Amino acid sequence: MSYVDVGKENSTPIHLYYEDHGSGHPVVLIHGYPLSSASWEKQVPALLAAGYRVIAYDRRGFGKSSQPTTGYNYDTFSEDLHKLVTHLKLKDFTLVGFSMGGGEVARYIGRYGSKDVSKAVIMGGVPPYLLKTADNPEGVEASVFEGIEKAISADRYAFFTEFFKNFYNTDVYLGKRVSEQAVQASWNTAAIASATASLACVPAWYEDFRNDVAKIDVPTLVVHGDSDRIVPFASAGSRTAKLINGAELVVIKDGPHNIAWTFAQEVNDALLKFLAKPAVKAQRTDTKRKAVA
């Protein structure tokens, strides 16, 4: 197993677990909450078959990475990502972030620029700014996040059970696009995550990425389900695509939050089509949009 050292907590090193497969243009996959890099299992084979080098890692606190009690904010997450790509000496790479991972994509480019980044993909991502404020009326009420924090503090295992119902829209797709076993596997991954991380990540969801998004100057694909109950399309994906010059927006019709699993073929088709296009930073000002049934 491969790890990169990203810091220390007292006497304990903080390691990120990662996998590095294939060859060709590097694609870095950044998972969502409360999962791990294993959640990309429907994308990795498609990317490898198409000739890409695929790097997937576990965010601190999740999966096989270390579980420190510090660093659950996007400045640290983006720094962790920077240390990984520096360790691997990646050039001309694509960043693909799902849910929380969309925050890493935005903050990474916001902090480190796009010198070595050729493309960006934000899938069901938390940018540009999820919290409803006076200057952000499209956001989500603070009481929603407060309720989530209370539920996690009271019993995170019970919270995860309810969370995954809306993560997959199981009332619609259970037994059709997602099995009971797949939902249970997600729950198992969440259960072994750090209890500290499970709670501390919630405020990170509504960090303000508007300045970061404004700095994204590479070809960008935004993919979002229009039935996302975790990160509302109107609050996130729709706005992100409008804020990034020349971004391409693919809306997955009736898609829940985890479209990477429930609508894997549609997601893979959009991802591979986007990756195959020439990477040109000088983008057009119009925003493309199409719906995928």
pLDDT digits (tens, 9 = 90+) for 206-251: 999 999 999 999 999 999 999 999 999 999 999 999 999 999 999 9
Catalytic positions, written as ranges: 99, 228, 257
Question: How many structural domains is the chain composed of?
Answer: 1
Amino acid at 216: I
The CATH number given to whatever domain includes residue 52 is: 3.40.50.1820
Domain range holding 7? Answer: 2-292
Structure tokens at 139: 């956001």
| Amino acid 291: pLDDT | 54
Give the H or E element holding residue 13: strand 12-21
Exposed e or buried b for every residue in 43-59, given b needs 16+ CB within 10 A?
bbebbbebebbbbbbbb
What confidence score (pLDDT) does residue 63 get?
98
**Model confidence, pTM:** 0.95
91-96 average pLDDT score: 98
